[in-house]
């Protein structure tokens, strides 16, 4: 092979490699994109994706935390001040999980119960996850329009 | 060669995203309770533990509901302003002493002065949860019908009072 | 008194930094000797004032001066002395002052160690650094003054965020900032080079030790952050692809690319404009990271309390610093690239590929980090990109990159032959393949494609690095001579091999599980038995805690008692999990106490992390390699 052909071959090979890598990367991107969906959208508008994880956020309703004694599985109600969603979770909770606190849950919806595999609460008293703030804000905006 | 302009073009292309992203102001937290009735509660008074303060007794008067605690630095920051506000007799101030030590709270009032008309003691923090308190200090403006008309997170001062609270009172009266 | 002195010193530093910037740059432009000789004294004066300001803030913390709002918000009487000092950078205002202090310190060092450079060149560097510090001090004074007083002053403070009351996080920010800010020096050198009439490869030689120094601190800083997140957050991972972590990883990747391309530019005089662009980009990404963290624009668990006004200031600063540099680059770079030939198989080619792959990795991370923001801005829904995507996406550039490391190390400049390279690398590859298959399959008892690729490549890198290290020693007529550049490079790559090996093993064989324990229960996880003996209350200086006592058995042999705690800090009333870790060179056993499940039973998180220490050990070895490379004699001339 002449040097010119060699170079063409090298360029061609790396280019096709790059294209395959790019396609795989973007496909993985699609698959790993996780939507944040407000509780109202889940409950009223059936916007929850099926068989795919998503995030919900809201405030933990007072007195809604229940668990069987000795069991790692617990459940609580999450609210965006308009609708409520029951969340089931098995595992160790983050330190700042408590009633009235804003949390984000990641998981899937199963017959109107949200099965969370991760619960996030930030390590800061005054912190509210921005997603939760936005979903509470949305609701405020709606009620104001309603007047 | 034009290719050396690519980096700056790329940079200029992503900058607008940051500008727009910045607009989403997260420091203003609207309370879901604005425009709603105040949550009911009945708590002991901080000054006289035998006295119960019931939220229904507070109605029929516009008042400022202020959440504070001795462990909260911002509360001390706004304390001067609250003293001035209370001396002006413009509006009664109802305090909610939040998750605090009883004796510390009394000592605090003794040392710095007491701007509050009455103070309810919320040791467990349950009432604060009902009110959707994010942190201390936090202030709610409640009108004579018991409707929350404004809320502020963080220390109060003259500017904020004039700009937000006084206006909210006037708007409400209209 | 002291806070006022500090505030005043900071104002003076602002004025002097402006003088430093304008005198040095104007002097260099006009070739005015008097102004140029002023640049160093001005820089030292500026640094002195910043040091005074910082010392005043430290003093306010140590002396419990709660009349200072920042002290009152981030400290308290019962806080241990070490944390009173580290509380200085525990929140936004103080950490910004620390940033300014570090930039001043870098400036001072540049002034001291640049005396053999042409006056005009070093004067420009000092001028650029002066303007950078002017921007940061302005930011501090106008949006984030740490010296603000509060009246009446509280009797006690609000305490430091309990999460930050930890030795790892006391030292993590300073070291990380030394790295971030260090890239400002590379940036200043690049600007100075682009302003020169005649740009040659000397610039690359001058800037190399500074870049390596910044890179090595960034490496240690990131490793410390990862280590801290591992044991303190209690989530049991060592990297979460959180936006704030990504913000520190992107400058690291570009810094690594820069180190490699500087080597080519210095040795062979090629890639000059590309190297300049990387110098500017490394610092730009550091600034971008700061902006993302402090403006609250991205959602992160690590983000500072946010303030849009601050964000706007940083954004404007960002545009002038990055935009200005890129504009200068666009104008100047075009007539830089000389035609210097090199063969298709040569060290130049491998280093070029290294750069391409590292830049691809950076772009992928940038994409994943900014995608949620872009979609939200265009109202296309709120999304987040999970860690799994980053893990998959990183394989694309990283596997080829790691394969090329050994070849790059052992190939010759200008032109090499494939036979020669094959001869040098075949036996390491043979051994690596054997060991790389045997260890996972027989010692850990499992195999898989990615696992075998990972362990083979990492061992291949380790062996070739050791061979390359051996070749850096020359026995010259009885006198030992070490080529420190080569030795440093080999050790850094050795660290990379160790790191990759750790990552491969821990991600394949690590076990994480949450279990419910009643008192006396014994549960087996990954071959070890855990028994919950007791739960009791204890008291610390500024917290109360419940502590579990858990015996760990390997078979029937008792190997350790682990005592994880759940603390409640008294002032902020916030709970904190303190994990207990049995750390061995080849594995970690990690236990964290969760919530009470009622009836004397508790949720407990147990993790088995084989080879996890190798991850941080690898980073330290990489940094050590950098240190050795800087000590090479040719930079001291």
pLDDT at B3: 78
Q: Chain C residue with minimal CA distance to B12?
A: C323
A-C contacts (CB, under 8 Å) = 106
Domain ranges of chain A: 1-33, 39-146
Mean pLDDT in chain C? Answer: 89
Query: Lowest-pLDDT range, A139-143, C253-257, C524-528, C610-614?
Result: A139-143
Q: Chain B residue with minimal CA distance to A127?
A: B134
Q: What is the pTM of this model?
A: 0.86
Phi, psi of C31 (to 5 degrees): 55, 40
| Residues 56-95, chain A, touching C (beta carbon < 8 A) | 67, 69-72, 90-93, 95
Shortest Cα distance from A128 to chain C (angstroms)?
A: 10
pLDDT digits (tens, 9 = 90+) for C226-246: 998 888 776 678 888 888 888
Across residues C445-470, what is the average pLDDT?
92
Give the number of other CB atoms < 10 A from CB of residue C324: 14
C353 and C345 in contact (C-beta within 8 Å)? no
Q: Is A61 on the interface with B (CB under 8 A)?
A: no
Nearest to A71 among C161, C592, C597 (CB): C597
Shortest Cα distance from B157 to chain C (angstroms)?
A: 13
Residue C141 neighbours by CB under 8 Å, 6+ apart: C10, C11, C14
Mean pLDDT in chain B? Answer: 83
Greater pLDDT, A138 or C523: C523
> Which parts of B69-133 are beta strand (E)?
93-98, 118-122
Matching CATH number, B33-173, of 3.40.50.2000, 3.40.50.300, 3.40.30.10, 3.50.50.60 = 3.40.30.10
Confidence of residue A144 (pLDDT cuts 50, 70, 90): very low
What's the complex ipTM? 0.81
Confidence of residue B28 (pLDDT cuts 50, 70, 90): very low
Q: Identify the contact set of chain B against chain A, taking CB-CB distances under 8 A.
A: 24, 26, 29-32, 34-35, 125-126, 128-130, 132-135
Position B4 pLDDT exceeds 70 = yes
Confidence of residue B1 (pLDDT cuts 50, 70, 90): low
Position B29 pLDDT exceeds 50 = no
Confidence of residue C59 (pLDDT cuts 50, 70, 90): very high
Shortest Cα distance from C73 to chain A (angstroms)?
A: 13
Task: Give Cα C87 distance to the centre of its chain.
Answer: 20
CA distance C25 to C13: 18
pLDDT at C288: 86
Phi, psi of B131 (to 5 degrees): -80, -5
Query: Lowest-pLDDT range, C60-69, C245-254, C287-296, C599-608?
Result: C287-296
Write down the architecture of domain A39-146 according to CATH. Beta Barrel (2.40)
Dihedral sign (CA C372, C375, C376, C382):
negative
Position C515 pLDDT exceeds 70 = yes
**Cβ contacts (< 8 Å) between C573 and chain A: which residues?**
125
Query: Lowest-pLDDT range, C84-88, C158-162, C187-191, C564-568?
Result: C158-162
CA distance B141 to B146: 9
Dihedral sign (CA C152, C158, C159, C164):
negative
Nearest to A72 among C371, C572, C603 (CB): C603
Q: Is B81 on the interface with C (CB under 8 A)?
A: no
Q: Describe the strand order of the beta sheet including C511-518 as a list of residue ranges.
A: C511-518, C601-610, C587-598, C580-583
Position A46 pLDDT exceeds 80 = yes
Peptide bond into C152 cis (omega under 30): yes
pLDDT at A124: 47
Position C354 pLDDT exceeds 50 = yes
**Cβ contacts (< 8 Å) between A126 and chain B: which residues?**
134-135
C134 and C14 in contact (C-beta within 8 Å)? yes
pLDDT digits (tens, 9 = 90+) for C534-575: 999 999 888 899 999 999 999 889 999 999 998 888 776 677
Nearest to A100 among B34, B35, B129 (CB): B129
Position C294 pLDDT exceeds 90 = no
Across residues C31-38, what is the average pLDDT?
91
Q: What is the CA radius of gyration of chain C?
A: 26
Q: Identify the contact set of chain C against chain A, taking CB-CB distances under 8 A.
A: 161-163, 233-234, 296, 299, 301, 305, 344, 364, 367-368, 371, 381-386, 388-389, 392-393, 396, 514-516, 518, 572-577, 592, 594-595, 597-599, 601, 603-605
pLDDT digits (tens, 9 = 90+) for C112-126: 998 889 999 999 999
**Cβ contacts (< 8 Å) between B24 and chain A: which residues?**
134
Greater pLDDT, C529 or C198: C529
């Amino acid at each position: 092979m002449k040097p010119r052909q060699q170079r063409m071959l090298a360029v061609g090979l790396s280019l096709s490699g790059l294209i395959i890598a790019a396609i795989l990367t973007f496909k993985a991107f699609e698959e790993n994109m996780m939507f944040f969906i407000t509780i109202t959208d889940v409950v009223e508008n059936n916007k929850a994706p099926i068989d795919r994880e998503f995030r919900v956020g809201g405030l933990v309703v007072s007195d809604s935390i229940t668990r069987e004694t000795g069991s790692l599985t617990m459940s609580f109600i999450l609210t965006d001040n308009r609708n409520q969603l029951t969340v089931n979770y098995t595992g160790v909770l983050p330190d700042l999980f408590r009633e009235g606190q804003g949390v984000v849950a990641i998981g899937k919806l199963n017959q109107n119960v949200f099965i969370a595999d991760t619960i996030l609460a930030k390590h800061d008293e005054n912190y509210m996850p921005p997603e939760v703030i936005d979903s509470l804000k949305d609701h405020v905006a709606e009620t104001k329009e309603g007047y | 060669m034009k290719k050396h302009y690519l980096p700056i073009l790329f940079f200029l292309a992503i900058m607008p995203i940051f500008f727009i992203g910045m607009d989403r102001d997260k420091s203003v937290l609207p309370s879901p309770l604005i425009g709603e009735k105040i949550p009911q509660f009945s708590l002991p008074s901080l000054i006289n533990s035998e006295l119960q303060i019931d939220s229904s007794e507070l109605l029929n008067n516009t008042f400022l509901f202020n959440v504070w605690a001795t462990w909260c630095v911002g509360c001390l920051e706004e304390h001067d302003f609250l003293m001035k506000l209370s001396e002006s007799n413009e509006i009664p101030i109802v305090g909610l002493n939040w998750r605090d030590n009883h004796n510390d709270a009394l000592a605090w009032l003794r040392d710095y002065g007491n701007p509050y008309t009455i103070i309810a003691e919320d040791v467990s923090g349950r009432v604060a949860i009902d009110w959707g308190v994010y942190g201390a200090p936090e202030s709610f403006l409640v009108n004579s019908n018991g409707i929350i008309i404004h809320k502020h997170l963080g220390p109060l001062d003259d500017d904020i009072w004039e700009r937000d609270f006084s206006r909210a009172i006037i708007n409400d009266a209209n | 008194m002291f806070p006022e002195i500090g505030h005043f010193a900071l104002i003076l530093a602002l004025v002097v930094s402006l003088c430093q910037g304008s005198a040095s740059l104007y002097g260099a432009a006009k070739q005015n000797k008097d102004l140029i000789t002023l640049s160093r004294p001005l820089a030292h004066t500026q640094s002195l004032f910043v040091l005074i300001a910082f010392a005043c803030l430290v003093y306010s913390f140590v002396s419990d001066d709660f009349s200072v709002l920042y002290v009152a918000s981030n400290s308290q009487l019962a806080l241990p002395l070490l944390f009173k000092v580290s509380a200085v950078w525990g929140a936004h205002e103080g950490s910004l002052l620390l940033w300014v202090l570090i930039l001043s310190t870098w400036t001072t060092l540049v002034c001291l160690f640049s005396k053999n450079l042409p006056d005009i060149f070093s004067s420009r560097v000092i001028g650029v650094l002066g303007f950078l510090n002017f921007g940061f001090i302005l930011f501090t004074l106008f949006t984030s003054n740490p010296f603000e007083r509060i009246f009446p002053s509280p009797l006690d403070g609000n305490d430091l965020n309990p999460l930050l009351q930890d030795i790892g996080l006391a030292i993590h920010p300073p070291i990380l900032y030394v790295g971030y800010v260090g890239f400002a020096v590379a940036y200043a050198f690049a600007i100075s080079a682009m302003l020169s009439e005649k740009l040659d490869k000397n610039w690359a030689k001058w800037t190399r030790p500074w870049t390596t120094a910044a890179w090595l601190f960034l490496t240690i800083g990131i490793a410390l952050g990862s280590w801290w997140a591992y044991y303190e957050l209690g989530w049991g991972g060592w990297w979460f692809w959180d936006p704030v972590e990504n913000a520190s990883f992107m400058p690291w990747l570009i810094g690594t690319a820069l180190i490699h391309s500087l080597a080519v530019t210095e040795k062979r005089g090629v890639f000059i404009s590309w190297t300049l662009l990387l110098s500017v980009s490394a610092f730009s990404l550091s600034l971008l990271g700061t902006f993302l963290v402090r403006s609250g624009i991205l959602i992160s668990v690590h983000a500072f309390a946010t303030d849009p006004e601050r964000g706007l200031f940083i954004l404007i600063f960002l545009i002038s610093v990055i935009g200005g540099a890129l504009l200068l680059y666009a104008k100047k770079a075009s007539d830089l690239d000389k035609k210097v030939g090199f063969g298709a198989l040569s060290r130049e080619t491998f280093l070029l590929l290294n750069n391409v792959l590292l830049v691809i990795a950076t772009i992928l991370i940038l994409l994943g980090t900014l995608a949620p923001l872009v979609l939200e801005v265009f109202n296309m829904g709120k999304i987040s990109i999970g860690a799994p995507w980053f893990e998959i996406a990183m394989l694309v550039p990283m596997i080829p990159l790691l394969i090329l490391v050994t070849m790059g190390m052992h190939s010759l400049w200008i032109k090499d032959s494939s036979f020669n390279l094959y001869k040098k690398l075949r036996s390491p590859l043979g051994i690596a393949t054997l060991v790389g298959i045997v260890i996972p399959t027989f010692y850990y008892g499992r195999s898989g494609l990615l696992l075998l690729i990972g362990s083979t490549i990492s061992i291949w890198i380790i062996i070739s690095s050791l061979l390359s290290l051996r070749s850096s020693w020359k026995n010259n007529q009885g006198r030992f001579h070490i080529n420190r550049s080569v030795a440093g490079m080999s050790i850094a790559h050795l660290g990379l091999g160790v790191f990759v090996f750790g990552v491969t093993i821990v991600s394949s064989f690590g076990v994480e599980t949450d279990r419910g324990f009643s008192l006396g229960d014994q549960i087996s996880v990954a071959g070890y038995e855990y028994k919950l003996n007791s739960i009791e209350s204890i008291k610390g200086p500024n917290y109360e805690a419940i502590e579990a006592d858990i015996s760990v058995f390997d078979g029937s042999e008792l190997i350790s008692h682990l005592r994880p705690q759940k603390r409640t800090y008294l002032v902020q009333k916030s709970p904190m999990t303190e994990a207990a870790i049995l750390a061995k060179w080849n594995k970690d056993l990690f236990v964290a106490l969760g919530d009470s499940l009622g009836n004397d039973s508790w949720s407990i998180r147990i993790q088995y992390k084989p080879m996890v220490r190798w991850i941080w050990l690898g980073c330290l070895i990489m940094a050590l390699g950098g240190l050795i490379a800087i000590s090479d004699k040719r930079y001291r001339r």
